[in-house]
A and B are shown apart, each in its own frame.
Chain A
Amino acid sequence: MPTSSVVVTGVTKLYGATKALAGVDVSFRRGVVTAVVGANGSGKSTLLRVVSGLLDPSSGQVEGPSGRPVRGLASAQDAGIVLVPQEPTLAGHLTVWQNVSLGRPEAARGPFLRDRAGRRLAARYLEGLLPAEVLDRVTSTLNKSSRQLVQLAAAMARRPVVLMLDEPTAVLDEDGVQALHALIRRFVGEGGTVLIVSHRLRDVLELADDVVVLRNGLVSHTGPVTPQTEHQIVRLLSAEERENRPAHRPDRGHVVLEASGLRGWRGLHVEHLQVHAGEIVGIAGQSGSGRSRLASVLAGAHPAEGRVTVDGTAFRLGSIRSAQAAGVAYIPEDRQVTAILGNQSVAANLLVGREDPTVRRGPFRRRAAEQAESAALIDRFEVRPRDPERHAALLSGGNQQKLVVGRALSRGAKVVIADEPTQGVDASARGAIHAALATAAAGGSAVVAVCSEFEELFELCDRVVVVRDGSVVLDRPIAQVSQDEVLASSLGSHLPDPTTPTPAEEIPS
């Protein structure tokens, strides 16, 4: 049996004049997890798409496990190469089992569907990922983490030889990450090949046997993961992030954002919440706990009962425009769906919704001022490439997120509500976004950030608010709380003694 499962030879991919891949030679070992890492726009997603047949390379060749060349989606599928994309792409109106068994020959006899066989098939592949109760749920009613697990089950149901995962943990909650890791270990143990693209270096290096580092569309390092290489790679990729670390912020100021008596959808029930000027408050909680809902209510994006004030002035709940007029800026979750104008320019994405006299005169746009403003925002938020006319869909995920952050932070807001501000972005974009939020806080804004990742919570925030079942169950300065306490309170279990934290593994869920 050959040791290489996938061999990539001299692959280039051009987008107009841009070289996303500039001649990649690399092979991926069979029965091994390979992490593909690299900074923003280094070509890692493009490489994944070329190998999976979604993109044809401009030149070069990909050989599949059988040694035959792979070109196009059909031949990749024949070779058993399956990609799990970063964003779940399921048929939302179908049930979970229908999505998992969709297109499987086992679930059909000739042109007719065999529902019971399909449901059994789905149950088998969902085992260990999600509880069996979800089988009959309509997929769109699941949260994003669960949808991603359904996607994973659907991929496994196609019996892959090579499983490729694009930022698999980006939307997963802690339980989901554990389930994913178990699945990957089992699959590799049975001789499967796994490729993971991720910016969460620690996560991915913990799992990976081999690592491929991409830089500017070229392979800059390849080899097994050892404690030394791990250290080197982390240093290489987080150098930029460290440079961007903000200076320590001054003490917090007066109360800017105040919410009281909030009642709303899915049992949202928050008696009182205050955020001060200069403070970054992290909202933690399991997915489905209401953490995002709380953020969206505070931003005026969803209606609720109760009262939210900015510097003492109440705005109309559920009216995003009223909230904005009061000084609230919002960075929504799930940028593809709720933030990015894909077929509009970078400049339009930065300036959309802006109605201040800097960029408009009466009903008219001030085009010279718009150009100056978008150029300044591109510089300030380090959007790459530096092209205000490029369509946002052509940017990498990290740069798209910079557009969303830039759009929110360019309005001089008193309150910034950020829902998962660095979801699915690489280390350098993450550093830039953290720095931008810290700068906003240092400038006197009250910042609220929903963080599903503990790393981000403890790195970014001054205070943590844990939400469970729609209510605030913990509200404490970050210096006086441990990861385990946050996890325990978000799960609803109690630590025997808060001064001696229990290891997370022992907490029943």
Chain B
Amino acid sequence: MTITQSTTETSSVPEPVVASGPSTLKQQGLFFAIVVAMFLVALPFLPQLRSGPYLMVQLATYSAVLIMALGQTFVVVQVGFDLSTGAMQGFVGGLVFLFVGWHLADGLVIVLSLAAALGIGVLVHGLLIAKGKMNFFIVTLASFTILPSLLRVILDGSSKPVHSPALDSLANGSVLGIRTPVIIAAVVFGLMWVLLNRTVFGRNVYAVGSNREAARLAGVNVDRVTMICYGICALCAGIAGLLLLGALGAADPSAGLGNEFFALTAVLLGGTRFSGGQGTLLGTLLGLLFLIVLSNILLLSGMPQFWIGAVQGVVLLIAVGIDRARRDA
């Protein structure tokens, strides 16, 4: 079976399987309509969805994951995946615990923690993958096991309360009735959107993802693009880590674990492809909103929590399967 299949590929010309720009926009419009329709259909049956404060809590809860997913989008578009974002989210909590223990000013704690995340992203992940030509999966898998281990060392294995007024107000405050994590996520989204859509760097991210060698020969500094993308991804995970720590009020040895795959699910649902060169931040946002609406509807209508992951996985397969079938048609 496999053998016959490879022969077929051996002598077939690959058909162009790409859509042009506007239809991607159209697809996003359709996706948005689906999310809104799901919400509206559920509205009469689930009174909680009509409660503004409830919805705000939901948005605030998922803001950190959104920020992680935005960073991950950069990495996936340029071809790659950062397996360690959830680990990084937890690890940054450990750093904050450490820095607060040294009685550093809150502002300095935030700057140092984010700088550490950025440094790991650029100088460890980016450098080893771009310059060291190591496989992205292996490099970030290493961080995926190293960072939680270091976190446990720092925390001595147990959850430690962290008192930081600045982080507390970042994670739990609100401005004009809008929770601060939502505002932070919106600001990060705006900055990232400009970076990806309005700068030369952003276009280079797509070029590298589309055809790395062609981008190199066209004069793009492809290694720098890759390093910056892993930096952005780790930095976003760091910001998500600060929000998580603020929300918990403690640094926890298992904080963040598993979030990398939840964020990745949102990225892929949003139309970003592992093959690279395609994907948008708006798609990632819609992918996450879809997951939030879906899991809320299921939980509020009484489905046991244990089932949520199974449903999300099946939805991912269906969505990517539909996409695949449309491209083959």
Contacts and interface: CB of A to CB of B under 8 A. Distances in A.
Interface of A: 45, 49, 54-55, 73, 77, 82-87, 89-91, 99, 102-104, 108, 151, 154-155, 158, 166, 299, 301, 320-321, 324, 330, 332, 337-345, 348, 351-355, 360, 363-365, 367, 387, 389-391, 393-394, 407
B201 A89 contact: no
Classify the interface of chain B: helix, strand, loop or mixed: helix
B76 to A, nearest CB: 14
Interface stretch (B15-23, B127-135, B281-289, B290-298): B15-23
Contacts of B22: 389
Interface in B127-163: none
Contacts of B10: 89-91, 99, 102-103, 151, 154
B305 interface: no
Contacts of A339: 211, 214, 217-218
Given A391-B16, A394-B16, 14 more contacts: A85-B11, A89-B9, A155-B11, A299-B217, A337-B214, A340-B214, A341-B210, A341-B211, A341-B277, A343-B275, A352-B204, A365-B198, A391-B19, A407-B218
A407 B206 CA distance: 17
Q: Which of A49, A103, A343, A354 has the most chain B CB atoms inside 10 A of its CB?
A: A343
Interface residues of B, number: 42
B220 A352 contact: yes
A392 to B, nearest CB: 9
A388 to B, nearest CB: 10
A162 B18 CA distance: 30
B19 A341 contact: no
B219 A324 contact: yes
A139 to B, nearest CB: 11
Interface of B: 3-4, 6-22, 198-204, 206-207, 210-211, 213-221, 275, 277-278
A364 B201 CA distance: 8
B217 A330 contact: yes
Given A343-B210, A390-B20, A407-B218, A352 B203 contact: yes
Contacts of B203: 348, 351-352, 365
A324 B207 CA distance: 18
A108 B2 CA distance: 13
14 contacts: A49-B13, A77-B8, A320-B216, A324-B219, A337-B213, A341-B215, A344-B206, A344-B207, A348-B207, A352-B215, A354-B219, A365-B198, A391-B20, A393-B16
Contacts of B15: 49, 54-55
Contacts of B17: 393
A412 to B, nearest CB: 14
A337 B215 CA distance: 11
A332 to B, nearest CB: 5
Contact of A301 (B8, B201, B217, B275): B217
Contacts of A390: 20
A165 to B, nearest CB: 11
Contacts of B275: 343
Nearest to A344: B210
Q: Which of B8, B13, B19, B277 has the most chain A CB atoms inside 10 A of its CB?
A: B13
A83 B277 CA distance: 29
Contact of B211 (A55, A340, A354): A340
A125 to B, nearest CB: 13
A83 B10 CA distance: 10
Given A348-B206, A365-B199, A394-B18, A83 B11 contact: yes
Contacts of A364: 198-200
Given A343-B277, A352-B207, A154 B219 contact: no
Rank and list the top 5 A-B pairs by shortest CB-CB distance, nearest first.
A103-B7, A353-B219, A353-B218, A393-B16, A341-B210
A64 B202 CA distance: 49
A332 B217 contact: yes
B13 A54 contact: yes
B277 A360 contact: no
A109 B17 CA distance: 36
A340 B215 CA distance: 9
A154 B10 CA distance: 8
B271 to A, nearest CB: 12
Contacts of B12: 54, 73, 83, 85, 89
A91 B198 contact: no
A338 B213 contact: yes
B223 to A, nearest CB: 11
Q: Which of A99, A103, A360, A394 has the most chain B CB atoms inside 10 A of its CB?
A: A103
Nearest to B221: A321
A197 to B, nearest CB: 11
A372 B13 CA distance: 34
Contact of B18 (A342, A360, A363): A342
A39 to B, nearest CB: 20
A342 B211 contact: yes
A365 B218 CA distance: 17
B6 A103 contact: yes
A371 B9 CA distance: 38
B13 A85 contact: yes
A56 to B, nearest CB: 10
Given A338-B213, A364-B198, A391-B19, A352 B218 contact: yes
A155 B11 CA distance: 7
A345 B21 contact: yes
A396 B200 CA distance: 27
A394 B327 CA distance: 13
A91 B14 CA distance: 14
A85 to B, nearest CB: 4
A222 B198 CA distance: 52
A305 B14 CA distance: 39
A336 B217 CA distance: 13
Contact of A389 (B20, B199, B207, B216): B20
A87 B13 CA distance: 8
Nearest to A45: B13
A414 to B, nearest CB: 15
Nearest to A389: B21
Contact of A151 (B8, B11, B202): B11
A352 B203 CA distance: 8
A355 B15 CA distance: 32
B7 A102 contact: yes
Contacts of A321: 219, 221
A341 B214 contact: yes
B13 A320 contact: no
A391 B218 CA distance: 17
A109 to B, nearest CB: 12
Contact of B6 (A102, A324, A352): A102
A104 B11 CA distance: 13
A101 B143 CA distance: 43
A354 B200 CA distance: 9
Given A103-B4, A390-B20, A166 B207 contact: no
Contacts of B206: 341, 344, 348
B277 A344 contact: yes
B39 to A, nearest CB: 32
A108 B3 contact: yes
Contact of A166 (B13, B199, B204): B13
A111 B211 CA distance: 37
B283 to A, nearest CB: 15
A99 B6 CA distance: 10
Contacts of B4: 103
A324 B216 CA distance: 11
Nearest to B8: A73
